[in-house]
Structure 1
Amino acid sequence: MSEAGAEAEEHRAGWFELFFDLVFVVTVAVLARGLHGDPDAAAFGTFLVLFFPAWWAWVNLMLTVNVFGSAGPRVQGMLVAAMPGLGLMAAAAPEGLHSRAWAYALGAAWVRFAAFGLWYGRARRPDNALPVWRPVSYCLVTGGIWAVSAAVPNPGRFVLWGLAIGVEVVLLMASTGAGWELYDELSIDHLVERISLFVVIVLGESVFTLVVAFTDHFTGPSGATALLGFLVVAELAMVFFLWGTTGASRGLGRAQESRAIRAMRDSVMYLPFVLVSGITVIAAALGTAVDHPEHHLPPGARWALCGGVLAFYTANAAISLRFGDPPGMVLRWYVPALALVAVVLVPASVLLPAWAAVGCSAAVVFALAKLAKYRARLRLPGT
């Protein structure tokens, strides 16, 4: 590891970053609201289309702070400047693909313009390998595309959204000397801590959903269902924080030492989005169950419950593989996850009342948590 990388290991999340994350508490809550009840395919698609740009903005700003540190006034100023843009995206999200799509686009442009100054200043340093065209392309060009899309009617607007994100993805895929330098500088502790804190935000939204649903339906069956739902959330948190973060630290460290840029990029920028999306849709299904515990879950809530659990474990399996864990070791816990979802959770969500379906999901996640604990005792690598 380079000297810069060794020094980066001391970098931990600061209070200013935690303040910055408050806007994402609102963003997740607003976007998750559209999945309550009986969401259809369009509702799930809307959630993913609007959640990914918000996640993408967060992870890019997180990496910016990882490289520059959070203690300096310039970085803190950048975070403050970016927060209103993210807030605008959150406020526009309920109609983010319709009447407020223009505002959502302007919020995305705002975030990119806010980050430009730091990266441009670094590119201008004589001792830096980062070419000036990269921050210009990644921040100004893509921000300009988002801004222009605000004036373009649907569906052309969404083509421009895809183009803007596509340009950023292509730039990340391009390997340059500056790319190696930046990946060497990344603090693994900070990466794991920041992604873990984002997961905390999503888990917190899950608990909030359960409590609000119980508040609105203050009955014995709803309370019992909320308690079972809380067990589901707590068990997912246990799997992630007791074993997932340890595996992530180890895997990212190996990837950085071997300069496996693609593995680091995928496991930090792309795959956690699948994981947090899974937790979010699970929470929506649990809230629906608390609303009507003695009824059967509607089809959309069944998809959310079963698909969310599957997404959570699929993301973890994919991250394990990107870290270089042997496929056989990953399959030892991923195959049971697939089997329990297919054989237990799917039939339960269809045949049983909502409270019982949530109870079965708690049992499934508990069994998989025990399997994760057993895997950890055997010192098997994983996420």
Structure 2
Amino acid sequence: MTEQTEAAEGRHASWLELFFDLTVVAAAAQIAHRLHSAESVGQIAACGAMFYAIWSVWTTTSVYANVAGERTRQRAVLRTMLGIAIMAAAVPGVWPELLPGEHDDAPRGRTAAFVVAFLLCRLIAARSAARDGQLVTFWPATQSVAATPWIASIFVPPTIAYWLWGFAIATDLAFSMVGAANPRSVAEMTERWRKRTEEQDRRSANRLAQLIERGVSPDRLPDASPTLMSVAQVQSGHLSERLGLFVIIVLGEALAQVVAANTELEWTYAVIAASLAAFLLLVQLWRLTSLYGFTPAPRSTKPLEPWQALPAHLGVTAAIVVVASGLGGLIPEAAEHLHARDRWYIFGGLALYLLTSVFAGLAGRAPLRWYLGWVLPSTVVAVLAGVLGHLVPGWSLAIVAWAVLAWFASYDKLGSRRTATDDPSAG
């Protein structure tokens, strides 16, 4: 390994990147607040679409900073930070007819602001990478976005608009995953980029020749040197750190939900039990992140490829936001039977978290013992708690949710130790 590669892999998040992450806190809080009062599948899907848009902007900017390193353009990152802040502030007014809350009091016209800010932020990341001559083939979404469905959504009724968003999101993910995983797609992308770069250089040269013919002074001529194109190489250590930090930020917002739920309540035994179990549940989520990184699955191979890691990261962070919203509704009703919506937020979110771990486990070739002894029982209990949870008070469901994750996390001590004992070549 060269000194340059070692330095790249040893690079950590900069102060600029950490400052940029603060906008995610505000965005996650706004979406969790809306999600908590959602009353239909359509409203939940709308919140999910907004979360994806914000996650996508954060991801494309972080990927750009990953490949740019010390050449990261500070102004580009700060402009994107402002864009995410605008998106977060616009959340309460995006599709008031679809989202919960007082429709008459909801600010209007925020859907256009959200969409425009989203598209501009994605454009900033793409142009910044292009100016550095970097082609990001390991996550093609950094280079472009299917803008037409997003723009069209501004001019159609909300019931049609969110279908357009869904189509755009599915296209975005499919384009990035299939494009990055298929060598032929990568080669075609590189060739298109080469032709595009050559055309831009040819236009610059022609413009320079015209200026010279007009007698423009040499010191006033623009730089027309050829663009040096290169395929960007991911810095795995830095990207894993950035994705892990995002998970910690979302966990912080979940903890804020638990604290906020306690501020105006009488601290009865039920509230104390529910709050303590919710806190311990978040501790288990943090512990799993510290054990396995941002994807909650053991791996027997090298780290996941970006096209595998980033969708898994989306699933994990979305699951945590959903669980946090459910916990915010559980604590005030700790002594009562929990509303079906909040019950399914908690256990449906846990099921999504566990299913995402299956995706990460398959990509990383996790051992069969882990699936059968830890993933399967945990998922079954989570689903049963969602179905039968109306029979018991809320505080007991908080304990069940904690127990599910406690067992899931116990593989590190029980399952991996047993595997090492059974394998003579281990250690």
TM-score by length of 1: 0.82
Instruction: Specify the alignment match of 1:202 in structure 2.
Output: 250
Task: Spell out, residue by residue over 1:147-169, the C-alpha distance to the aligned partner (whole angstroms, 9 max, x if none).
Answer: 56435554554455456542574
Q: Is the 8 A contact 2:49 2:165 kept in 1?
A: no
Q: What is the Cα-based RMSD across aligned positions, in Å? A: 3.2
What 5-or-longer segments of structure 2 have no aligned partner?
97-107, 180-184, 192-229, 421-427
**Counterpart residue type for residue 396 of structure 2:** A
Instruction: Specify the alignment match of 2:279 in structure 1.
Output: 230
Q: Is the 8 A contact 2:111 2:154 kept in 1?
A: yes
TM-score by length of 2: 0.74
Q: How much has 1:358 moved relative to structure 2?
A: 0.8
Indicate which of 85, 94, 97 corresponds to 1:96.
Answer: 94
Q: How much has 1:97 moved relative to structure 2?
A: 2.8
Q: Distance in 2 between matches of 1:173 and 1:190?
A: 23
Q: Is the 8 A contact 1:138 1:167 kept in 2?
A: no
Indicate which of 382, 387, 404 corresponds to 1:364.
Answer: 404
Report the secondary structure of 1:295's partner residue: coil
Q: Is the 8 A contact 1:281 1:305 kept in 2?
A: yes
Instruction: Specify the alignment match of 2:307 in structure 1.
Output: 265
Point out which structure has higher relative CO (alpha carbons under 8 A, 6+ apart): 1
Q: How much has 1:58 moved relative to structure 2?
A: 1.2
Change (3 A) 1:55 1:218: same
Q: Distance in 2 between matches of 1:159 and 1:326?
A: 39
Q: Is the 8 A contact 1:282 1:309 kept in 2?
A: yes
Instruction: Specify the alignment match of 2:175 in structure 1.
Output: 170
Task: Spell out, residue by residue over 1:186-242, the C-alpha distance to the aligned partner (whole angstroms, 9 max, x if none).
Answer: 111111111111111111111100111100213223233212211111112112212
Instruction: Specify the alignment match of 1:294 in structure 2.
Output: 335
Q: How much has 1:310 moved relative to structure 2?
A: 0.9
Instruction: Specify the alignment match of 2:259 in structure 1.
Output: 211
Report the secondary structure of 2:311's partner residue: helix
Instruction: Specify the alignment match of 2:225 in structure 1.
Output: none
Q: Is the 8 A contact 1:266 1:322 kept in 2?
A: yes
Structure 1 residues 234-243 or 301-310, which shifts more? 234-243
Indicate which of 369, 374, 378 corresponds to 1:333.
Answer: 374
Q: Distance in 1 between matches of 2:135 and 2:81?
A: 29
Change (3 A) 1:38 1:223: farther
Written as runs of structure 1 = structure 2, the 5 A alignment for 1:52-67 is 52-67=52-67
Q: Distance in 1 between matches of 2:362 and 2:47?
A: 27
Structure 1 residues 223-232 or 154-163, which shifts more? 154-163
Task: Spell out, residue by residue over 1:62-115, the C-alpha distance to the aligned partner (whole angstroms, 9 max, x if none).
Answer: 11111101x44x522211011121111111112323442211101111202222
Change (3 A) 1:3 1:319: farther
**Counterpart residue type for residue 77 of structure 1:** R
Q: How much has 1:273 moved relative to structure 2?
A: 1.2
Q: Is the 8 A contact 2:299 2:366 kept in 1?
A: no
Change (3 A) 1:179 1:311: farther
Change (3 A) 1:110 1:215: same
What 5-or-longer segments of structure 1 have no aligned partner?
256-262
Task: Spell out, residue by residue over 1:249-292, the C-alpha distance to the aligned partner (whole angstroms, 9 max, x if none).
Answer: 9678455xxxxxxx43022x212111111111111111111112
Q: Is the 8 A contact 2:115 2:151 kept in 1?
A: yes
Change (3 A) 1:193 1:160: same
Task: Spell out, residue by residue over 1:292-343, the C-alpha distance to the aligned partner (whole angstroms, 9 max, x if none).
Answer: 2111100101111111111111111211111233555433321121233245
Q: Distance in 1 between matches of 2:75 and 2:236?
A: 24
Q: Distance in 2 between matches of 1:163 and 1:235?
A: 35
Percent of pairs identical after alignment? 26
**Counterpart residue type for residue 403 of structure 2:** A
Q: Distance in 2 between matches of 1:14 and 1:351?
A: 49
Instruction: Specify the alignment match of 1:240 in structure 2.
Output: 289
Indicate which of 103, 118, 123 corresponds to 2:128.
Answer: 118
Q: How much has 1:172 moved relative to structure 2?
A: 5.6
**Counterpart residue type for residue 170 of structure 1:** F
Structure 1 residues 85-94 or 174-183, which shifts more? 174-183
Report the secondary structure of 1:294's partner residue: coil
Q: Distance in 1 between matches of 2:135 and 2:42?
A: 44
Change (3 A) 1:159 1:347: closer
Instruction: Specify the alignment match of 1:377 in structure 2.
Output: 417
**Counterpart residue type for residue 236 of structure 1:** L
Report the secondary structure of 1:176's partner residue: helix
Written as runs of structure 1 = structure 2, the 5 A alignment for 1:64-143 is 64-69=64-69, 71-72=70-71, 74-98=72-96, 99=108, 100-123=110-133, 138-139=143-144, 142-143=146-147
Written as runs of structure 1 = structure 2, the 5 A alignment for 1:241-256 is 241-244=290-293, 253-254=302-303
